[in-house]
Amino acid sequence: MSESPITRMAEATPQPLARKVRGLSDRAIAWIFVAPTIFLLLAVNIFPLIWTINLSFTNFKANRPNREVEYIGLRNYERILTDSDIWLSMQATAHFLFWTIFFQVLIGFTLAWLINKKFKGNDLWTTIIVLPMMLSPAVVGNFWTFLYQPQIGLFNYVVAFFTGADPSSFEMLGSVQLAPWAIVIVDTWMWTPFVMLICLAGLRSIPDYIYEAAEIDRASKWRQFWTITVPMVMPFLMLAVLFRGIENFKMFDLVVQLTGGGPGSTTELASINLKREAFEKWRTGYSSAFAIILFVTVFGLASIYVKALNKVKDR
Q: Which of 239, 206, 207, 253 minimizes the C-alpha distance to 105?
A: 239
Q: Which is nearer to other proteins, 201 or 301 (CB)?
A: 301
Piece of 6-14, 135-143, 280-288, 302-310 that binds other proteins (CB under 8 A) = 302-310
Provide the CA 244 distance to its chain's centre, in angstroms.
5
301 near other proteins, judged by CB under 8 A: yes
Asked if residue 180 lies in contact with residue 96, where contact means CB atoms within 8 angstroms, the answer is yes
Side-chain-facing half-sphere of 315: CA atoms under 13 Å: 15
Residue placing its CB nearer to other proteins in the complex, 89 or 156 = 89
Nearest to other proteins of 111, 242 (CB atom): 242
Closer residue to other proteins (CB): 19 or 307: 307
Any idea what the Cα angle at residue 81 is, between residues 79 and 85, rounded to 5°? 85
Among 56, 57, 76, 97, binds other proteins (CB under 8 A): 97
> Rounded to the nearest 5 degrees, what angle is found at the Cα of 127, between the Cα atoms of 125 and 129?
65
Alpha carbons 73 and 75: distance in angstroms, whole number: 6
Calpha distance 265→122 (Å, rounded): 43
42 in contact with other proteins (CB under 8 A): no
Site for other proteins in 195-214 (CB under 8 A): none
Q: Which of positions 76-95 make contact with other proteins (CB under 8 A)?
A: 77, 81-82, 84, 87, 90-91, 93-94
Cβ nearer to other proteins, comparing 83 with 253: 83
Q: Is 189 in the site for other proteins (CB under 8 A)?
A: no
- Comparing C-alpha atoms, which of 302, 300, 276 is closest to residue 83? 276
Residues contributing to the site for other proteins (CB under 8 A): 77, 81-82, 84, 87, 90-91, 93-94, 97, 293, 296-297, 299-301, 303-304, 307
